[in-house]
Structure 1
């Protein structure tokens, strides 16, 4: 894991001074990004977070994997950007603007800017999902 992190840091240092259109891709191993933490927006239960895009300088979006363990939830909150939840495994209930829908593997919730949204784990298995959204401004290169 340390090797993967050092590789990412070295790659980021090499591209920091190159214009965005000329930067090489960044390859990230998810195991180098894992954290066990309460979910955002209320700290309801416990989750495993893969903060996959966090180490990418100059990025304009977030790309994350989160596993909501039994009873966990990303609490209801207002978003100021479009956001996508894609379910890898488990069952969850997504809320947007007061509407609730069940999501199962292979389903996606596309959530619109200005909506009040959240998602909670339901069923017998942890809910594993990919979450992606644009940033208000690019992350500065280090």
Structure 2
């Protein structure tokens, strides 16, 4: 100290602002768990932000903004919170974000690429404009399959349930729930359902310009 005239340079984290922006982005219903809401007692306290993990993340995020070098020392991400103008950014979106229900999307189709048997396809977000990838769920019913075909793009299959035989570049693999299958350009692959249970899989790949999803 020099007679009390010096001032410490202390960075401040505006937790009130960051938590308020965060809560507004969540919306009233989703924000309820982070405040004191006890319907049985008629309590609805919207001023006391809680949940230690959420608070800690906002604090660390603010701290990293003040001292960026701390980011390399973090053991988990601190990418939480939203910008103060989040509502304006949402209004300015060229295309809105969506929530779909698969029960509204089911399409009965023959096995793709000359595959056998009946399948059910769920083409998620097929009508979403300018979406750079395709995500689809497909159910291969008993005896159904996806026929052998050559790939010109990356594609991932993820087996949700059931069992099957997967042919990839001349080799055959037994696949079941929890298996992920990556096909790169230049590879050939096919998938055949086996057993009594339908084979359910998710498919994701890069969309080609103008592709019907």
What residue in structure 1 maps to residue 172 of structure 2? 100
The SS at the match of 2:173 is strand
Structure 1 CA distance for aligned equivalents of residues 193 and 107 of structure 2: 18
Greater share of helix residues, 1 or 2? 2
Q: In the alignment, is residue 26 of structure 1 matched against residue 101 of structure 2? A: no
For the pair shown, the structure with the greater C-alpha radius of gyration is: 2
Aligned pair 1:45/2:124, yes or no? no
- Aligned partner of 1:76 among 132, 148, 156: 148
Work out the number of aligned pairs and report it.
122
Question: Where does structure 1 lack aligned partners over 5 or more consecutive residues?
Answer: 1-14
Unaligned 5+ runs, structure 2: 1-89
Structure with the larger strand share:
1
| Mapping of residues 110-125 of structure 1, within 5 Å | 110-125=182-197
How big is the alpha-carbon RMSD for the aligned residues of Structure 1 and Structure 2? 2.1
Structure 2 counterpart of 1:65, from 134, 137, 148: 137
TM-score (norm 2): 0.53
1:56 alignment partner in structure 2:
128
* Greater RCO structure (CA 8 Å; 6+ sep): 1
